[in-house]
């Protein structure tokens, strides 16, 4: 693969990760304007905000399976087309119902794009470039999270709320123009889709995501949150039973017997809980406690995104020198230290005070970028879409879990402090500090999981080749790729 094609492929993968993540955050600042201009009620507005994340999270597993059945390139192109067309439909929406419907279709398009993008990285790129590609992709996600409020506020003020959706159209067109860079790959398997598995997985993930989002906003005892979570659990159990018996499963359960994949997914979830918690609630902390504007709060995360981007090349070298399991665990440990640092900044801080902690989170997250490639190390090519769907679903659910976990801890501590007569700002700060410390514990647990599950057996370093006098190279027994 030539340099020009590699550059185009890297640009495509980075762009798709950026626009699908940006769309999840850019709308938040525009919601008050949407409510006013379309005359929406608060429940209507909640559905506009949640429609994207609900369909995105629920359809990731089918999106991954379709990648295996129909091919990485076709599914990626289809996802980009669906995402771009639904963005245009969002911009043209004239009611809450039409806007929610278009947002739901947007999420479906993103659920095709993400697993297909990861499958391209895991299969079509040379092994030496995969961690770099994942690092750039992850950095694009971090930049999108940081820029969401900034871009949303800027665009809404100048071009109205429709502009936050129109913005996706040129990005989508550019992504389609870059699609020829995706290698053709092997012929896809057309064995049919496991319809019962699709329905059960969508039901389980949709109700889980809805229950967590709704419970965070209205309380976990408020109807229909308990019912949603209960039905989600039942659907998940039935899904496992169905998948174990069907001849063409949506998820081949044997894949989860691989400790690399199962351990990587668990570590991904624990990392996502911590990092998503810090993005969401640190933005609130910067605005409610330190008095930052939404734009200023978004800009505060840019050094973190820069550290993530600059640290990506170091991650691959660290994985080769130390072993991927050690370097990833070290990165998770650094993220945990950064979370603890940010939690202790306090109420009298300025722009630069939380930056050491945020930079540690960025550098630590950069060191974890080989995690995705490592998780997929032993997955066969014909199951790569399925595995990337699992990894993507884990990442999405971990984001919701992170916001919910830190939010529940923050809210309970805040209410306790308010009952004790504390100032509202100090009460919020007390809950925020405790929430971030618990998030740090989750990330540390992820470091332990990494050390236990991602270590390759045998000697880490590649043994030297021995050359006989006849100059014929002898391949050493047990020789394999670097960690």
Contact 182, 72 (CB under 8 A): yes
Locate 383 and state its tokens: 């199951």
Give the C-alpha separation, 98 to 135, whole Å. Answer: 36
Q: Quote the CATH superfamily of domain 251-455.
A: MFS general substrate transporter like domains (1.20.1250.20)
pLDDT for the residue 69? 87
Q: First vs last Cα of the chain: how many Å apart?
A: 23
Best CA proximity match to 212, nearest among 198, 233, 226, 200: 226
On the 0-12 / 13-18 / 19+ scale of CB atoms within 10 A, 127 is: exposed
Give the C-alpha separation, 436 to 409, whole Å. Answer: 9
Q: Does domain 1-180 have CATH number 3.40.50.2000?
A: no
Would you kindly state where each structural domain of the chain is located, as residue ranges? 1-180, 199-249, 251-455
The CA–CA distances, whole Å, from 173 to 85, 166, 167 equal 10, 12, 11
pLDDT in 10s for each residue of the chain, 483 residues: 678 888 999 999 999 989 988 887 788 778 778 888 998 886 787 788 778 888 888 898 899 889 988 889 999 999 999 999 999 999 999 998 999 999 999 999 999 999 999 889 888 888 788 877 887 887 787 778 767 777 887 888 788 899 999 999 999 999 999 999 998 765 555 567 788 989 998 899 888 888 887 787 777 888 888 999 999 999 999 999 998 888 888 888 888 889 999 999 999 899 888 887 777 788 778 878 888 876 777 788 888 878 887 887 888 889 889 998 999 999 999 999 999 999 989 888 888 999 999 999 989 988 998 888 888 888 888 788 888 888 888 887 787 778 778 888 888 898 899 999 888 889 989 999 999 999 999 999 999 999 999 987 654 444 444 444 443 333 333 333 333
In sign, the C-alpha dihedral spanning 367, 369, 373, 374 is positive
Report the DSSP pairing between strands 473-474 and 466-467: antiparallel
Q: Is the pTM of this model over 0.95?
A: no
């Amino acid at each position: 693969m030539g340099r020009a094609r590699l550059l185009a492929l890297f640009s495509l993968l980075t762009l798709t990760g950026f626009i699908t993540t940006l769309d999840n955050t850019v709308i938040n600042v525009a919601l008050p304007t949407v409510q006013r201009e379309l005359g929406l009620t608060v429940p209507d507005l909640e559905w506009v905000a949640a429609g994207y994340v609900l369909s995105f999270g629920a359809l990731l597993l089918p999106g991954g399976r379709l990648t295996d059945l129909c091919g990485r390139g076709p599914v990626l192109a289809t996802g980009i087309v669906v995402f771009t067309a639904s963005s245009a439909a969002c911009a043209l929406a004239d009611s809450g119902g039409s806007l929610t419907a278009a947002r739901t279709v947007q999420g479906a398009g993103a659920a095709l794009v993400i697993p297909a993008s990861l499958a391209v990285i895991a299969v079509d790129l040379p092994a030496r470039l995969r961690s770099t590609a994942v690092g750039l992709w992850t950095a694009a996600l971090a930049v999108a999270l940081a820029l969401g409020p900034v871009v949303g506020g800027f665009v809404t003020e100048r071009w109205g709320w429709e502009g936050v959706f129109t913005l996706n159209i040129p990005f989508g067109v550019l992504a389609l123009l870059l699609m020829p860079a995706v290698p053709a790959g092997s012929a896809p398997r057309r064995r049919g889709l496991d319809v019962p598995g699709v329905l059960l997985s969508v039901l389980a993930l949709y109700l889980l995501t809805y229950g967590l989002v709704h419970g965070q906003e209205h309380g976990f005892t408020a109807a229909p949150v308990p019912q949603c979570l209960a039905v989600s659990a039942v659907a998940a159990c039935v899904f496992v039973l169905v998948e174990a018996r069907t001849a063409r499963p949506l998820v081949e359960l044997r894949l989860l017997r691989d400790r690399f994949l199962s351990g990587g997914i668990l570590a991904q979830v624990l990392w996502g809980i911590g990092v998503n918690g810090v993005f969401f609630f640190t933005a609130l902390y910067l605005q409610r406690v330190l008095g930052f504007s939404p734009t200023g709060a978004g800009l505060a995360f840019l050094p973190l995104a820069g550290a993530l981007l600059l640290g990506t090349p170091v991650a691959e070298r660290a994985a080769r020198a130390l072993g991927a399991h050690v370097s990833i665990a070290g990165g998770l440990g650094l993220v945990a230290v950064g979370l603890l640092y940010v939690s202790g900044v306090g109420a009298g801080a300025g722009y630069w005070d939380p930056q050491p902690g945020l930079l540690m989170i960025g550098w630590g997250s950069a060191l974890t970028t080989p995690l995705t490639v490592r998780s997929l190390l032993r997955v066969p090519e014909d199951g790569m879409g399925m595995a990337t769907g699992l990894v993507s679903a884990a990442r999405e659910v971990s984001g919701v879990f992170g916001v919910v976990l830190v939010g529940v801890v923050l809210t309970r501590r805040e209410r306790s402090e308010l009952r004790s007569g504390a100032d509202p700002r100090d009460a919020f700060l007390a809950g925020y500090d405790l929430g971030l410390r618990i998030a740090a514990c989750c990330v540390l647990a992820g470091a332990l999981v990494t050390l236990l599950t991602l270590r390759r057996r045998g000697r880490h370093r590649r043994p030297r080749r021995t050359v006989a006098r006849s100059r014929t190279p002898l391949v050493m027994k047990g020789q394999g790729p670097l960690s």
